[in-house]
Structure 1
Amino acid sequence: MLWILFSDQVLAWLVPDGARQALYQSWKGAFYVVITALLAWWLLRRAERAETIVSSTPEQVRQLVRMVPVGVCSIGFDERILVSNAKMREMLGLPGRQGDGPLYLRDLLRGEDLLSCRQGMVRLRAGGQEQPYQAELRWHSIDGRTEVPALVTMALARGFDGLPLHFACVLQDVGAIRSAREALERSETSLRLALDGSGDGLWDWNIPGAAGSYSSNFMRLLHYQGNDFAHDFAWPDLLHPRDRRRVQAAVTHAIRCGTPFSELARLRRFDGEYRWFQGRGMRHLDADGRPERFSGILTDMTSHREAEERQRLASVVFDNTIEGVIVTDANNRILSVNPAFVHAMGYTEAEVLGQTPALFKSGRHSRDFYAQMWSTLNSVGYWRGEIWNRRKNGEVFPEAMSLSVVRDGEGRVRQYVCMFSDISQQKASEARLDYLAHYDTLTGLPNRVLFLRQLESALHEARHDGEMMAVLLVDIDRFKDVNDSYGHPVGDQLLRYAGQVLGRGLRHGDLLARFGGDEFALLVRRVAQTSLLEERVRAMMGELSLPWFAPGGMEMTTSVTVGISLYPRHAGTARDLLQGADAALYQAKSDGRATYRYFSDEMTSRARERIEVETRLRRAVAAGQLVLYFQPQVDIASGCIVGAEALVRWNDPDEGLIPPARFIPVAEATGVIGEIGDWVLVEACRQGQRWRDEGLPPLTLAVNVSPRQFLLGDMVGRIAEVLEETGFPAQNLELEVTEGALMEREQDGLQALRRLRALGARIAIDDFGTGYSSLAYLKRFPLDVLKIDRSFITGLPDDADDVAISATIIAMGHSLGVEVLAEGVETPEQLAFLRGKGCDRFQGYLCSRPVPAGEFAALLRANVQQFRVAAVP
Structure 2
Amino acid sequence: MGSNTPGGSPRMSPWWGMALYLVVGAVWVAAGDRLLDLLVADPLRLARWQTAKGWLYVLLTGVLAWWLLLRMRAAERARGALAQELSQIARHAPAGIARVEPASMRFMWANERLCGWLGLPLAAVQHSGFGELVPPDSRARAGQQLQRLLAGRIDHYQVEGLCLGAGGGRPLPVLCTVSHVPATDDMPAHLLCVLQDLGEIGAARAELLRSENILRLALDGSGSGLWDWDLLARRATHSPGLARMLCYQGLELPHGLNLLRRLHPQDYRRVHRAVQQAIATGQPFVETARLLRFDGSYCWFQARGLCHRGVQGRPERFSGILTDLTASRAFEERQRLAATVVDNAIEGVVVADAQGRILSINPAVTRLLGYTEDELLGQNPRIFQSERHDKQFYEAMWAALQQKGYWRGEIWNKRKNGEIFPERMSLSAVHDEGGQVTHYVCMFSDISQEKAQHQRLEFLSHRDSLTGLPNRAWFVEQLEEAVSQALAHGELMAVLLLNLDRFKDVNDSYGHAVGDEVLRHIAQQVRLSLRPGDLVGRMAGDEIAVLVRGLRNAEGAAAVAQHLIAAVSKPWSTPDGIEVVAGVSVGIAMFPEHAPTAQQLLQGAHSAVYGAKARGRSAHCFFDESMTQAARERLEIEARLRTALAQGHLLLHYQPQVDVATGRIEGAEALVRWQDPEEGLISPARFIPVAEASGVIGPLGRWVMHEACRQGQQWRAAGLPAIRLAVNVSPRQFQLDDMAACAAQALAASGLPAGCLELELTESALAERPEEMRQVLQRLQALGVRIAVDDFGTGYSSLAHLKRFPIDVLKIDQGFMRDIPASADDMAIGATIIAMGHSLGLTVLAEGVETPEQLTFLRERGCDSYQGYLCSRPLPAEQFAQLLQTQQSAT
TM exceeding 0.5? yes
C-alpha distance in structure 1 between counterparts of 2:802 and 2:340, whole Å: 81
| Residues 492-641 of structure 1 aligned to structure 2 (within 5 Å) | 492-618=516-642, 620-621=644-645, 624-635=648-659, 639-641=663-665
C-alpha distance in structure 2 between counterparts of 1:353 and 1:428, whole Å: 32
C-alpha distance in structure 2 between counterparts of 1:777 and 1:236, whole Å: 92
> Does the aligned pair in 2 maintain the 1:711–1:749 contact within 8 Å?
no
C-alpha distance in structure 1 between counterparts of 2:785 and 2:329, whole Å: 87
> Does the aligned pair in 2 maintain the 1:385–1:402 contact within 8 Å?
yes
| Residue 196 (structure 1) aligns with | 217
| Residue 808 (structure 1) aligns with | 828
Pairwise CA distance, 1:717: 6.5
Return the letter of the residue paired with 2:599. Answer: R
Pairwise CA distance, 1:704: 1.4
**Structure 1 unmatched ranges of 5 or more:** 1-182, 869-873
| Residues 104-503 of structure 1 aligned to structure 2 (within 5 Å) | 190=211, 193-199=214-220, 200-226=224-250, 229-231=253-255, 233-503=257-527
Return the letter of the residue paired with 1:492. Answer: D
| Residue 69 (structure 1) aligns with | none
Return the letter of the residue paired with 1:303. Answer: A
Pairwise CA distance, 1:440: 3.6
**Corresponding residue to 1:850 among 841, 854, 874:** 874
C-alpha distance in structure 2 between counterparts of 1:555 and 1:646, whole Å: 46
C-alpha distance in structure 2 between counterparts of 1:686 and 1:783, whole Å: 24
C-alpha distance in structure 1 between counterparts of 2:481 and 2:738, whole Å: 49
Pairwise CA distance, 1:359: 2.6
CA 1:245/1:427 → structure 2, altered by over 3 Å: closer, same or farther? farther
| Residue 694 (structure 1) aligns with | 718
CA 1:412/1:601 → structure 2, altered by over 3 Å: closer, same or farther? farther
Between stretches 683-692 and 331-340, larger displacement belongs to 331-340
C-alpha distance in structure 2 between counterparts of 1:822 and 1:245, whole Å: 101
Return the letter of the residue paired with 1:443. Answer: T
> Does the aligned pair in 1 maintain the 2:495–2:548 contact within 8 Å?
yes
C-alpha distance in structure 1 between counterparts of 2:411 and 2:285, whole Å: 56
Percent identity over paired residues: 56
> Does the aligned pair in 2 maintain the 1:239–1:268 contact within 8 Å?
yes
Q: In the TM superposition, what whole-angstrom CA distance separates every residue of 1:91-120 from its partner, at most 9, and x where no partner exists?
A: xxxxxxxxxxxxxxxxxxxxxxxxxxxxxx
C-alpha distance in structure 2 between counterparts of 1:727 and 1:858, whole Å: 22
Return the letter of the residue paired with 1:329. Answer: D
> Does the aligned pair in 2 maintain the 1:563–1:597 contact within 8 Å?
yes
Return the letter of the residue paired with 2:544. Answer: F
Q: In the TM superposition, what whole-angstrom CA distance separates every residue of 1:241-277 from its partner, at most 9, and x where no partner exists?
A: 4433333332222112211112233334334444433
Return the letter of the residue paired with 2:577. Answer: G
**SS in structure 2 at match of 1:588:** helix
> Does the aligned pair in 1 maintain the 2:492–2:590 contact within 8 Å?
yes
C-alpha distance in structure 1 between counterparts of 2:780 and 2:343, whole Å: 73
C-alpha distance in structure 2 between counterparts of 1:570 and 1:219, whole Å: 97
CA 1:269/1:723 → structure 2, altered by over 3 Å: closer, same or farther? closer
C-alpha distance in structure 1 between counterparts of 2:473 and 2:626, whole Å: 28
Pairwise CA distance, 1:774: 7.7
**SS in structure 2 at match of 1:499:** helix
Between stretches 487-496 and 429-438, larger displacement belongs to 429-438
Return the letter of the residue paired with 2:439. Answer: Q
> Does the aligned pair in 2 maintain the 1:196–1:217 contact within 8 Å?
no
C-alpha distance in structure 2 between counterparts of 1:730 and 1:264, whole Å: 85
> Does the aligned pair in 1 maintain the 2:529–2:563 contact within 8 Å?
no
Pairwise CA distance, 1:549: 2.4
| Residue 144 (structure 1) aligns with | none
| Residue 65 (structure 1) aligns with | none
C-alpha distance in structure 2 between counterparts of 1:277 and 1:755, whole Å: 78
Pairwise CA distance, 1:390: 1.4
C-alpha distance in structure 2 between counterparts of 1:719 and 1:760, whole Å: 10
> Does the aligned pair in 2 maintain the 1:810–1:820 contact within 8 Å?
no
| Residues 696-711 of structure 1 aligned to structure 2 (within 5 Å) | 696-709=720-733
Return the letter of the residue paired with 1:395. Answer: E
| Residue 864 (structure 1) aligns with | 888
C-alpha distance in structure 2 between counterparts of 1:608 and 1:322, whole Å: 59
Return the letter of the residue paired with 2:703. Answer: W
C-alpha distance in structure 2 between counterparts of 1:840 and 1:469, whole Å: 63
| Residue 15 (structure 1) aligns with | none
> Does the aligned pair in 1 maintain the 2:554–2:590 contact within 8 Å?
no
Q: In the TM superposition, what whole-angstrom CA distance separates every residue of 1:121-169 from its partner, at most 9, and x where no partner exists?
A: xxxxxxxxxxxxxxxxxxxxxxxxxxxxxxxxxxxxxxxxxxxxxxxxx
**SS in structure 1 at match of 2:550:** coil
Return the letter of the residue paired with 1:193. Answer: I
**SS in structure 2 at match of 1:697:** coil
CA 1:387/1:458 → structure 2, altered by over 3 Å: closer, same or farther? farther
Pairwise CA distance, 1:214: 2.1
> Does the aligned pair in 1 maintain the 2:351–2:359 contact within 8 Å?
yes
C-alpha distance in structure 2 between counterparts of 1:279 and 1:650, whole Å: 97
C-alpha distance in structure 1 between counterparts of 2:363 and 2:391, whole Å: 30
CA 1:689/1:360 → structure 2, altered by over 3 Å: closer, same or farther? same
Pairwise CA distance, 1:210: 1.5
Pairwise CA distance, 1:288: 1.9
> Does the aligned pair in 1 maintain the 2:480–2:598 contact within 8 Å?
yes
Pairwise CA distance, 1:775: 8.4
Return the letter of the residue paired with 1:645. Answer: E
> Does the aligned pair in 1 maintain the 2:834–2:862 contact within 8 Å?
no
**SS in structure 1 at match of 2:312:** coil
Return the letter of the residue paired with 2:503. Answer: F
> Does the aligned pair in 2 maintain the 1:263–1:278 contact within 8 Å?
yes
C-alpha distance in structure 1 between counterparts of 2:336 and 2:786, whole Å: 85
Return the letter of the residue paired with 2:411. Answer: I
C-alpha distance in structure 2 between counterparts of 1:755 and 1:648, whole Å: 25
C-alpha distance in structure 2 between counterparts of 1:357 and 1:780, whole Å: 76
> Does the aligned pair in 2 maintain the 1:207–1:292 contact within 8 Å?
yes
* Residue correspondences, number: 682
Between stretches 721-730 and 702-711, larger displacement belongs to 721-730
**SS in structure 1 at match of 2:454:** helix
| Residue 5 (structure 2) aligns with | none
Pairwise CA distance, 1:764: 4.0
C-alpha distance in structure 1 between counterparts of 2:226 and 2:758, whole Å: 106
C-alpha distance in structure 1 between counterparts of 2:576 and 2:270, whole Å: 79
Return the letter of the residue paired with 1:310. Answer: R
Pairwise CA distance, 1:286: 1.5
| Residues 813-852 of structure 1 aligned to structure 2 (within 5 Å) | 813-816=833-836, 817=838, 821=845, 823-824=847-848, 841-845=865-869, 847-852=871-876
**SS in structure 2 at match of 1:526:** strand
**SS in structure 2 at match of 1:230:** coil
C-alpha distance in structure 2 between counterparts of 1:420 and 1:555, whole Å: 54
CA 1:464/1:209 → structure 2, altered by over 3 Å: closer, same or farther? farther
Pairwise CA distance, 1:847: 4.4
Pairwise CA distance, 1:464: 4.8
